[in-house]
Amino acid sequence: MLSAIHSLLDNTYEEMVSIRRYLHQHPELSFQETETAKYIANYYENLGIPYEKNVGGNGVIATLKGAKPGKKVAFRADFDALPIQDEKDVPYKSQVPGVMHACGHDGHTATLLTFAKVMQQFQNELEGTIVFIHQHAEEYAPGGAKPIVETGVLKDVDAVFGTHLWATLPLGSIYSSHQAIMAGADRFEITIQGQGGHGAIPQDTKDAIVIGAEVVSQFQQIVSRRLSPLTSAVVSIGIFEAGNAFNIIADQSKLVGTVRHFDLAVQEKIIQEMEQILKGICDSFGASYEFNYIKGYPPVVNHPEQTDLVLQSTKEIDGVDTAEIIEPLMVGEDFSYYLLEKPGSFFLTGANLEGNDYPHHHPKFDIDEKAMLIAAKAFANIYLAYQE
């Protein structure tokens, strides 16, 4: 049956590309994906596969029950876009100004839809049940995964899998991890209140820029000097705003940044150290501060048994040259919520487009669309292997 499924997936490749390009031309931002959700729901409506819409927000969940008893396995694809202007010179360039599928979610959706269409053709031979999770709002916390999980959609599911088409990995490669594959991703905002004044009379001021610079410098020592060197973490400042004139000492500065981690205990340690540094520096300058730490997605922590199944079942796919373990990435993903609920694995499918080496979230981001076909075949292999 597996070879027949692969053959039918090959035959639907043009449709897969067509779906992806349509979605690429009509992107929608996180929590605003109403038309995309309708498109997905209509696809299942036309197939006659039962589905629910508005799950946890704009989510769409479809279910295909095989004729034979077996395990219930879920596969997830996200479908939101990013606030980026598409700068590619291609026929399928985004038609929405300032909005673009710059992370491959259009490809994820096209993969899962055509996978569902093909698997339906084998419904009378299938063991178990396939759950197709189409998730909104992966890009913007609090995200769509958590509210979808909270609806109970995974209650009877035995395992959950997902893939990310990865533009900087070569086509024909599949990578996963037995443990964390992606980091927890948090955000913080700091406002430092000093006392402004004339640039020529600094002794009468509490310079918010100098104070902020001290904070930035000390924050860089949290990872290098306050955590074990065997611990992986990142503390990065992305925004430093202060002042409005060359000859005025600023009374206020604002810092915004991100923390990445693989361990919740490390996360708490970093928060504690940040608070201590802020208090110490601001007290020494006679300034005050506000510290707002927003915990984002937890780390994406795979389950070893399911990861072995992914790597073993996909290495025989035509066109797959590599199926191996990868070092964890510091990027975040709300697939973590599914793996906190059920066993499963998240894996990367290489999608590098020759001549286009732009990374995710870049205005010229693109993928080799043949990666979608590999991902769909991977889903098929994983599903059938899990039934054994």
Boundary residue ending a domain (280, 297, 314): 297
Is the same domain home to 292 and 347? no
Max CA separation in the chain (angstroms): 83
- The closest of 212, 187, 340 to 270, measured between CA atoms, is 187
The pLDDT score that the predictor gives to residue 334 is 98
Q: Is there a contact between 322 and 176 (Cβ–Cβ < 8 Å)?
A: no
Q: Which residues contact 237 (CB under 8 A, 6 or more apart)?
A: 216, 219, 255, 256, 257
Boundary residue ending a domain (257, 282, 297): 297
The pLDDT score that the predictor gives to residue 58 is 98
The pLDDT score that the predictor gives to residue 286 is 98
Work out the mean pLDDT of the chain and round it to a whole number.
97
Q: At 372, is the pLDDT very low, low, confident or very high (cuts 50, 70, 90)? A: very high
The pLDDT score that the predictor gives to residue 193 is 98
Q: How far is CA 11 from CA 45, 309, 373, in A?
A: 21, 26, 10
Is the same domain home to 154 and 27? yes
Query: Which CATH number belongs to the domain containing residue 283 in this structure?
Result: 3.30.70.360
Q: CB-based burial of residue 114 (10 Å sphere; 0-12 exposed, 13-18 middle, 19+ buried)?
A: buried
Is the same domain home to 309 and 256? no
199: domain range? 184-297
Is the same domain home to 19 and 148? yes
The pLDDT score that the predictor gives to residue 125 is 96
The pLDDT score that the predictor gives to residue 319 is 94
Is the same domain home to 224 and 192? yes
The pLDDT score that the predictor gives to residue 304 is 98
Annotated catalytic residues are: 80, 138
Percent residues over pLDDT 90 in the chain: 99
Is the same domain home to 305 and 293? no
Phi, then psi, of 11 in degrees rounded to 5: -70, -20
Measured CA to CA, the distance from residue 331 to residue 167 in angstroms comes to 14
The pLDDT score that the predictor gives to residue 332 is 96
- Tens of pLDDT, residue by residue over 250-261, are 999 999 999 999
User: What average pLDDT does the segment 158-172 reach?
Assistant: 98
Percent residues over pLDDT 70 in the chain: 100
Is the same domain home to 134 and 217? no
CA atoms within 13 A on the CB side of 362: 13
The pLDDT score that the predictor gives to residue 104 is 98
The pLDDT score that the predictor gives to residue 91 is 97
Is the same domain home to 175 and 196? no
User: Rounded to 5 degrees, what angle do the CA atoms 64, 65, 70 make?
Assistant: 130
Is the same domain home to 145 and 275? no
Residue 151 in tokens = 């609806």
Q: At 150, is the pLDDT very low, low, confident or very high (cuts 50, 70, 90)? A: very high
- The closest of 348, 308, 378, 344 to 71, measured between CA atoms, is 344
- Tens of pLDDT, residue by residue over 348-367, are 999 999 999 999 999 999 99
Q: How far is CA 323 from CA 10, 94, 177, 314, 375, in A?
A: 21, 32, 11, 7, 12
Is the same domain home to 24 and 8? yes
The pLDDT score that the predictor gives to residue 180 is 96
Boundary residue ending a domain (263, 297, 331): 297
Q: At 298, is the pLDDT very low, low, confident or very high (cuts 50, 70, 90)? A: very high
Q: At 197, is the pLDDT very low, low, confident or very high (cuts 50, 70, 90)? A: very high
The pLDDT score that the predictor gives to residue 300 is 98
- Tens of pLDDT, residue by residue over 100-116, are 999 999 999 999 999 99
- Specify the number of domains making up the chain: 2
Q: Is there a contact between 379 and 4 (Cβ–Cβ < 8 Å)?
A: no
Query: Which CATH number belongs to the domain containing residue 358 in this structure?
Result: 3.40.630.10
Cβ neighbour number for residue 47 with a 10 Å cutoff = 15
The pLDDT score that the predictor gives to residue 177 is 98
Q: In what order do the strands lie in the sheet with 288-297?
A: 233-242, 252-261, 184-193, 288-297
Measured CA to CA, the distance from residue 49 to residue 68 in angstroms comes to 17
CA atoms within 13 A on the CB side of 224: 6
Measured CA to CA, the distance from residue 126 to residue 71 in angstroms comes to 10
Cβ neighbour number for residue 227 with a 10 Å cutoff = 18
Is the same domain home to 206 and 276? yes
**Tokens 């054994």, residue?**
388
Is the same domain home to 279 and 323? no
Residue 35 in tokens = 């038309």
